[in-house]
A and B are shown apart, each in its own frame.
Chain A
Amino acid sequence: MVTAEQVWEALAEIPDPEIPAVSLVDLGVVRDVAVEGGKVRVEFTPTFLGCPAVEVMRAQMAERINELGAEAEIEIAAEGWSSDRITPEGRRKLAESGFAPPAPGAAPTTLLQIQEVISRCPYCGSTDTRLENLFGPTPCRSIRYCASCRQPFEQFKTL
């Protein structure tokens, strides 16, 4: 019989389809795991509603759970994802792979709020960085530029 702990461990090995350096558990998209007999119910919450990786994540989670010999039921949680759900481990892995982790707290409502946040360059550690584009290659990322090492980098949006 599979345990919830085993399921969490298995899910922690699934890389995010867009940023493979972090796992689905690191990103905080897995909300809850419940085991009932041979059935595993996972509640998950994709980062942005327009995230194209949702179906890939869902299929990968179901596959891992099936490998553990259980039936998978993957449901999208009613509550939305927040960037504060990224684990400390996840934040460390993001920074190591060149992504500035999101600033903590609620989503900003003005440009000023974004500009006031001190964002550290994941390459050289300088805080002399500026916002280049609110939008980036995926809905969850912005583009910043480091004036110190002259390296553009991606910043996870605060949501």
Chain B
Amino acid sequence: MSEDNLTKPAGSRSKGSVPESAQRILELADDELILGWRNSEWTGIAPFLEEDVAFSSIAQTEIGHARAWYELAAKELGTDADALAFDRDSDDYRCAPFVELRLVPDWAQTIARHWLYETADAIRIKALKASDDPDVAGLAGKIDREEAYHRIHADMWADRLREERRFTEALDSLWPYALGLLDKEQRDRLSEATGREQVEAVERRGHTGELRPLWEEMTMVRRSIPGAAW
């Protein structure tokens, strides 16, 4: 089996006008942008100051990774990263429903998603590092080293909350969403890494009702003052 999930055949949401390889990169970029946005919602209100700093920093790194993926896709599509991040309609985003969920102010759910996401993302990044496309493999390598700090943070919290009922319930409810982050052939590895059985996944095709309000807030300046620079 090829480790390179950028060479997979077109998915159900592919649009004829955008090449498949760029679509695949947009999935990664959109996941990181939307999750980065969700993580940033903890800025100022995390349970304690250390986590306020942690989630703000993680959000910044995820959005930095999104920018790097958007820049790569933009080269192929002849546009720029900001246009891809902010000028598409919310229906055209390719993120998984998993990252759309607004989980503030529930800390147990936030940590559950953080841990599931980082565990799944590690599997995905490993595959991307073996991509035939040197730009993709190179960027995945850079991202992987930065993500190590996110994984350490997520593992530390998952370990601390492992016996807590609210945390295990959050894992149960988010698990089908987490599976939807990965290609089908990568999901066994996520089961193995998390010790959870395969269930029906919430796939990356539609969007939850939670994306639209986020999109409206995120693109507000861009939409109200096209071309604004600051």
**A interface, CB within 8 angstroms of B:** 48-52, 78-80, 106-111, 114, 132-139, 143, 157, 159
Contacts and interface: CB of A to CB of B under 8 A. Distances in A.
B156 interface: yes
Interface of B (DSSP majority class): helix
A50 B149 contact: no
A135 B138 contact: no
B57 A109 contact: no
Interface in B39-93: 50, 53-54, 56-58, 60-65, 67-68
Interface of B: 50, 53-54, 56-58, 60-65, 67-68, 134-135, 138, 141-143, 145-146, 148-149, 151-153, 155-156
A78 B71 CA distance: 13
Given A49-B142, A80-B141, A133 B50 contact: yes
A79 B160 CA distance: 36
Contact of A133 (B54, B138, B142, B155): B54
Contact of B54 (A48, A134, A157): A134
Contacts, number: 75
Q: Which of B134, B142, B149 has the most chain A CB atoms inside 10 A of its CB?
A: B149
B138 A79 contact: yes
B149 A78 contact: no
B58 A107 contact: no
B152 A49 contact: no
Q: Which of A109, A114, A134 has the most chain B CB atoms inside 10 A of its CB?
A: A134
B61 A48 contact: yes
A133 to B, nearest CB: 5
Contacts of B50: 132-133, 135, 143
Contacts of B155: 110-111
A80 B145 contact: yes
16 contacts: A49-B67, A49-B146, A50-B61, A78-B134, A107-B145, A107-B148, A107-B149, A108-B148, A108-B152, A110-B155, A133-B53, A134-B54, A135-B57, A136-B57, A139-B57, A139-B61
Given A49-B61, A107-B148, A135 B153 contact: yes
A135 B64 contact: no
A134 B61 contact: no
B145 A50 contact: no
Contacts of B62: 50
**Closest CB pairs A-B (n = 8):** A50-B64, A80-B142, A135-B57, A49-B64, A135-B54, A50-B61, A107-B145, A133-B50
B141 to A, nearest CB: 7
Contact of B53 (A106, A108, A137, A159): A137
